[in-house]
Each structure stands twice: as structure tokens, then as C-alpha cells.
Structure 1
Amino acid sequence: MPGIEFFSAAEVRELLGFDVAIDALETALRDGLSPEDDGPRLFADAPNGEFLLMPAQSATFSGVKALTIAPQNPERGLEKIQGLYLLYSSDTLAPIAVLEGSCLTAIRTPAVTLTAIRHLARLAPEGARLGSNPRVLVFGAGTQAIEHVRAALVDFPDASFGVVGRRPERVAAMIEALGADPATAHVPVTAVGDGANTDAWPGSVDGAGSGDGAGSVDEAVAAADIIILTTTSTTPVLDGRLVGANAIVAATGTHGLDAREVDDELVRRADVAVEGRGSGRRENGNLASAYDDAAWESSPPANLQDLVRGNFTRTLGRPAFYTGVGMSWEDLVCASAVYSARTRP
């Protein structure tokens, strides 16, 4: 058996910049990769969490991401998602590479989100286009929140960022980490609200008034050009009535029909797009009550390939809402880009 290449987290990050990942995703979608051909993710119980297996295939490479999800780990100072990516030759089905999986996920997820945001911004009608320094509001203060800020700088290098979290210490740690990184030290990032340390998010309908910062969160939601949701909440984290008329909202933090980050009010107000219609119908709680079976059949939302190919119409005066749960093809595209970057002559 030929040697199997190993890619550490540091090597994955070195070879898979956000610009590289976004370009790889766009190229795959333009060249005919359909999110609707992706198979369902496979979940199984694990001690204190669950296993997640995500197989995917293409003409050149195939692979499977094998992860563990430990919801209590962040409270222990550990990563919530850990695992490996196994890459195979599609010709021989021989394993050719193993990649550290949590770093791959930390890059892939925001790259997918920013691919969607990039095209929603480009498809904005006259009167709804973003300026050169958009106001970006991020909900969440974990790994994905930090990486979404870094990814957003690819297209919006002059953006300013606000961060909303339930725990002030985590928001402060996120801002400190971004300030200590030479690549992001110049980026204006501020805490929004006081982080009320309650079960309800400050600024949500349930959390409104729960802390001195709740009002400022509402104001930030109303003023934001782009809102990125990276939480693990099972209930809406903001009041959809407050989102700006032409804002872009991207919800990427949850999976499962019983978990959601936005309310039906936002979904009803917005032009909606998803990663894939099949995965959205199976797993996306943000759409579970707004889209019944009849709606999925008669007027399903656009998917990510539609966005990249320009087959999507935004309406002046309506927010654009993108929501995803993570799909296996995305990891394969990104893992293939990492492997090809090292082995390319």
C-alpha cells in the first residue's frame, strides 16, 4: 500500500486559507457539483455526546469525516468537535491521506457561510448593496464565531464587528484573541450587550430586558448589514422583526429539527436560501415550522449552487436569509484542496 499522507491542524490551516476554501467551493458548485446529491449525515450515540460520520464522493477523491460532538466540552476548556478526515482515491478506493478534522471543520464551515454571503451581497438589487465597510454582528463567542470573523475579512476587509454572547468572559476572550493575532489586530471588534448569563439570549424575544445590554443588542440587530449566527441555541437568539430591511442573515450554528437560531418572523420576511434542499428539509430547525411538506414540494428555497450560479433573486426591502447545517461534500472539497496543495508538482 502506498504511503498515507498525514496533515496536522497546523498544516491544514497553512494550506487551506479561507480564500482558497471559498474558491474551491465556488469552483466545485459552478462545475456541476450538486448539494442535492449529498447523502445524509450519520449520527450515533457516544459517551457524553455523539459520533458523526460524513461520507462523500467525487470522480477523483472520496472521503469520510469521522467526528465526535461533545456539547459539554467548551465548559471544560475543550473543543466541542474533534475528529479526523479520511481521504481516498476514487479510482482505487485506497486511503491516501488523513487530516485533522476539527481544524478542517473550523475552516470549512465559515468558508461555506461566506460563500453564501458573498453571493447574496453580489445579488443585492440597487438600493440594497453593501458599502465598503459593512457592520457585521456575530452571535456566539466560540471557535466558529472567531473563524467567521476571519473568513468575513476575505470579502469585507474594512468591516467592523460586534459580538453578542451570553457569557461576557467568553466574548472578552474572543476579542482578545483577535486582537493578539497580527492578521486581525487592526479589525474593530466590540462587545455588544452585557451578556446576561441567562438561558435566553440577550436581544431575543425571551431575553429582551434580561440585562442592561438587551436594548443595545436590539439596536445592533437593527443596524447590522450582516448578521452571522454561530450558536448552539435551541431557540431563536434574536427578534426577527428587528432585522434591517436589506440585511443579510446567515445561521450556521445548529443542526436538528428541534434546534433553531431564528424565528419564523424572519423566515417569512426574508428571501431564503439553504445549503441543500434535502439537508434543509431533513435537519434544519430554522425552517421546520415555516416550511411544511407542501412548501418544500411547491416552492423550496434556492440552494448554494443556485447562489453561486446567480440563480437567485433578492427583493428590495426584504432581508436575505441563508441557513445551513453542514454537508459532507463541503468537507470533501476542502480536504481535496488541502491534499492537492501539498502534492501538486
Structure 2
Amino acid sequence: MKHFDATATRAPLGFERLVPALRAAFAAEAQVPQRHVHAIDNASGDKGTVLIMPAWSEAGFLGIKTINIFPGNGARGLPGLHATYVLYDARTGVPLALMDGDELTAHRTAAASALGASFLARGDARRLLVLGTGRIARMLPAAHASVRPIEEVTVWNHRPEGAEALAAQWRAQGWAGARAAAPGPEGLEAAVRQADIVSCATLATAPLVRGEWLAPGSHLDLIGSFTPAMREADAQCFAHARTFIDTPEALTKAGDLLDAIAAGSLRAEAVQGTLAALCRGECGGRTRPDSDERTVFKAVGSALEDLTAATLVWQSSLAEASL
């Protein structure tokens, strides 16, 4: 079994390759059982969640990701998410590779965010606001710039020093105008009102974005919360907006959606479609590239995305070995 460390896992996952690969994967057929979710409640008071996510495809690959989420890690200076991924031959069950699940998760999540925006954000969207400063949040400008003409990048975080540090990191990477939003709720409101795309990649359990702040024509991207207890947007974010989800599982797992349905600002049957439906052309995205309609994309993640990214890493290694 081959081992891919973080550097080797990361190398083939450029968004110019990964986003189209995800689009093709969602348009094709694959087997993706519902994830297994287990709550961890330690005697020390630390709480976490373990997810086990399998998937297999007609291409002959089977993958299983184990992912541990501990929201309290931020106070320890540690990432809130840690994952491992094992890729197998789906015909024989033979293990092929152990990969860095953190890199796979971050890249595929940011790529799915961009894939959703490729259908739902205005064609001229250039101002991106990122909520959060974790591994996934750091990748969102590059991901969205692969599908939209992003020029201005702003970050907000409940820890202002984290936002300032990430903005500086982006500037060092070539995003000359990257900046941190003003701290606190007032700073967040001002940043949301100015953004074409608002992308939330947090582990929040209380709404951060309010619907009254969202500008006409804006696209709200919710990719952080993945349990009924987590939420990044209030119920009004879904009112008078066209809402899309990554998979049907989002309707039972996402606290944002469950709150909106309970409040009456969203009906489950009014959800416009999934990523698969968008990629297959079974439903339309934004009605016009320049329209003032608001769109929302809610993702809880799919094992198909992990399998697609892992397959890309594996096939890239075979191609390099044959040179």
C-alpha cells in the first residue's frame, strides 16, 4: 500500500483540475451510502464528532474516509478537523493507498464550493467574503477564482487576529487587496452587504450571516456546518432566495436548513436541486448570469468528493511513474 503524505496528496489537487473532475463525478454514477456519525463526549468535557464516509465507483475504486471534528481545538491552536483516507481496488478490496485526509477534505470542500458557484454566482462576481480562517477557508479564494473573476477578497473571523493573519497570508500569495473585515457583528454586516459571494467555512453553532444583510444578486455559500446543531446562516437567508444543496442528505443534517424549514422561510420541496442535478443539466442554476436573484448553496459534504479527489491523486501518481 502506497503512502501519500500531505505534500504528495496536495500536489495533484489544483482547482483547475479538481473542480472539473468533481463536475464529471457528480454527473456520473457512483455508490455513496450515508455517512456514519458518532458523537464523542470525553470525561474531560471535550466534545467531538467522528464521521465514516465510504463510496465506490464504476471506475473500480473504493474509498473510506475517517474524519474527526473537535471544535474546541481552535483554543489549543490546532485544526478542528483531522482525517485519513484509504483507497482500495473495488474489484478485489486490496488496499492501494493511504492518503492525507485533511488535504483531501479541504481541497474537495473548497472545490465543491466553487463548483456550486460556477452554476449559481453571477458571472461578474468579483468580491468574495470568507467567514472562517481554517484550512478550508484559506483555499476558497483560489477555488472561486477558478470559476469566477475574483478580484477583492475579504475575511472575517470571531478572532480578529486570525482574520488579519489570513489576509496577510493571502497578500503574500498574490491577492494584493486581501483584507480583514472590521471585527464584531458590525464589521461582519458591512462586509456581507458589499460581497458578491459570501462563503462560510466555520464550525459555528449560532447563525453568523443574516438574510437582511445579503445584497441583491449575491450568492451565499454555506459549507461549514454539517450537523443539526450547527448553523452559519439565519432562517431569513433562505427567504426569497433560490436554494440548492450538495446532496439530499443536507435536508436532514444541516442546522441552517432545518431552522429555515421550521421557521417557514424555506420548504423542503422548494429546494431547487442538488449538485448532481446541476451537473447533469436536470435543473438550471442562476436564471441569468447578471440577474439580481439571490442564491444559496448548502453543502454537508459527500464521500463522492473524497473518492474523486483520491482517485485523481492515485492516477496522477501512476502517470508520473510511467514517465
On whether the aligned pair clears a TM of 0.5, the verdict is yes
Q: Deviations over 1:229-253 (max 9, x none)?
A: 1111112112211211111110011
One-letter amino acid of the counterpart of residue 289, structure 1: D
Once residues 146 and 270 of structure 2 are traced to their aligned partners in structure 1, the CA distance between those partners, rounded to angstroms, is: 33
Q: What secondary structure sits across from 2:260 in the alignment?
A: coil
Q: 1:288 aligns with which of 240, 258, 280?
A: 258
Q: Which residue of 2 aligns with 1:199?
A: none
Task: Provide the aligned C-alpha RMSD in A.
Answer: 2.1
One-letter amino acid of the counterpart of residue 321, structure 1: V
Q: Deviations over 1:155-174 (max 9, x none)?
A: 23542111111111101111
Q: Which residue of 1 aligns with 2:73?
A: 73
Q: What secondary structure sits across from 2:65 in the alignment?
A: strand
- Residues 1:338 and 2:313 aligned together: yes
The alpha-carbon deviation at position 268 of structure 1 amounts to: 1.5
Q: Which residue of 2 aligns with 1:238?
A: 209
The alpha-carbon deviation at position 313 of structure 1 amounts to: 4.6
Q: Deviations over 1:27-82 (max 9, x none)?
A: 1122345xxx5322112244432322111111210110012222222221212111
Q: 1:147 aligns with which of 115, 139, 142?
A: 139
Q: 1:43 aligns with which of 37, 40, 47?
A: 37
CA distance 1:290–1:45, shift in 2 (3 Å): closer
C-alpha contact (below 8 Å) 1:142/1:170 kept by paired residues: no
CA distance 1:81–1:90, shift in 2 (3 Å): same
Q: What secondary structure sits across from 2:88 in the alignment?
A: strand
C-alpha contact (below 8 Å) 2:144/2:150 kept by paired residues: no
C-alpha contact (below 8 Å) 1:227/1:250 kept by paired residues: yes
The alpha-carbon deviation at position 325 of structure 1 amounts to: 0.9
After TM superposition, the structure 1 stretch with the greater mean CA deviation from structure 2, 74-83 or 244-253, is 74-83
Matches within 5 A, 1:61-140: 61-121=61-121, 129-131=122-124, 134-140=126-132
C-alpha contact (below 8 Å) 2:193/2:213 kept by paired residues: yes
Task: Give the TM-score, by structure 1 length.
Answer: 0.83
Q: What secondary structure sits across from 1:268 in the alignment?
A: coil
Q: 1:314 aligns with which of 272, 286, 289?
A: 286
Once residues 135 and 14 of structure 1 are traced to their aligned partners in structure 2, the CA distance between those partners, rounded to angstroms, is: 27
One-letter amino acid of the counterpart of residue 22, structure 1: V
The alpha-carbon deviation at position 189 of structure 1 amounts to: 0.7
Q: Which residue of 2 aligns with 1:54?
A: 53
Matches within 5 A, 1:211-222: 214=186, 216-222=187-193
The alpha-carbon deviation at position 138 of structure 1 amounts to: 1.0
Q: Which runs of 5+ in 2 are unaligned?
A: none
Q: Which residue of 2 aligns with 1:304?
A: 275
CA distance 1:9–1:157, shift in 2 (3 Å): farther
One-letter amino acid of the counterpart of residue 180, structure 2: A
Q: Deviations over 1:102-127 (max 9, x none)?
A: 11111111011101001213xxxxxx
Q: Which residue of 2 aligns with 1:323?
A: 298
How many residues of Structure 1 are paired with residues of Structure 2 in the alignment?
A: 308
Matches within 5 A, 1:138-287: 138-156=130-148, 158-180=150-172, 184-194=173-183, 196=184, 202=185, 214=186, 216-277=187-248, 279-287=249-257
One-letter amino acid of the counterpart of residue 290, structure 1: A
C-alpha contact (below 8 Å) 1:130/1:225 kept by paired residues: no
Q: What secondary structure sits across from 1:78 in the alignment?
A: coil
Q: Which runs of 5+ in 1 are unaligned?
A: 122-128, 197-201, 203-213
One-letter amino acid of the counterpart of residue 130, structure 1: G
Q: What secondary structure sits across from 2:10 in the alignment?
A: helix
C-alpha contact (below 8 Å) 2:18/2:108 kept by paired residues: yes
Q: Deviations over 1:274-313 (max 9, x none)?
A: 0012x112201111033369943x4443000122234225
C-alpha contact (below 8 Å) 1:120/1:307 kept by paired residues: no
Identity of aligned residues (%): 28
CA distance 1:275–1:192, shift in 2 (3 Å): same
CA distance 1:91–1:52, shift in 2 (3 Å): same
Once residues 186 and 333 of structure 1 are traced to their aligned partners in structure 2, the CA distance between those partners, rounded to angstroms, is: 28
Once residues 18 and 312 of structure 1 are traced to their aligned partners in structure 2, the CA distance between those partners, rounded to angstroms, is: 23
